[in-house]
Amino acid sequence: MRQGPEIWIRGPVATQEPGPPEPAHAHAAARRFSWVGTHGGAGVSTLAAVYGGHDSGRAWPGPGDPASVLLVARTHAAGLDTVAGAVEIFRRGQAPPGLDLDAVVLVADAPGRLPRPLAQRVRSLESVIDVYRVPWVPAWRLGELGHPPRETSALVRLTGAAH
């Protein structure tokens, strides 16, 4: 053992014997999520099928379910109201004990750009929590789930979904 720089730490500094490098994923455990819809028709079941994770519907995850929560809402006014209220529940500490709010996932309620008032509400949400956007996917209406849309690569990374 070699003596370390005592100015920074106390005691000797152990040097590691060189060995084969460990893969980056060796210590990372796959994160599991519970998708929680803040209103009916938010798209929880579709997102759970496409990205993986537990489909909690509109209920809080139960004792055996993943405690990491992704709140889901559509991008229409009512959806943005309900998701803002659910974020506030977490902010005030009123969510069930043990649950952790990881992010909000907003699913497009129609094709195209959001009207300015709705886009401003999304920006307001983004100022307090991570928000992931899922575009309008026509194939999902037909039950053709397939791969996640490429515009959702950040959500794919968060959930660890295979694509």
- Whether the predicted model's global pTM rises above the 0.85 cut: no
Q: What is the per-residue pLDDT for 30?
A: 52
Largest Cα separation within the chain, whole Å, is 67
- Of 107, 105, 48, 39, the closest CA to residue 71 belongs to 105
Q: For 110-149, how does the pLDDT look when each residue is reduced to its tens digit (9 = 90+)? A: 999 999 999 999 999 999 999 999 999 999 999 999 899 9
Domain ranges in the chain are 34-159
Q: For 55-89, how does the pLDDT look when each residue is reduced to its tens digit (9 = 90+)? A: 999 999 999 999 999 999 999 999 999 999 999 99
* Six-digit token string for 114: 């959001």
Q: Look at residue 73 and give its three-state secondary structure.
A: strand
Between the alpha carbon of residue 142 and those of residues 82, 109, 130, 156, 159, the distances in Å are: 26, 15, 29, 22, 24
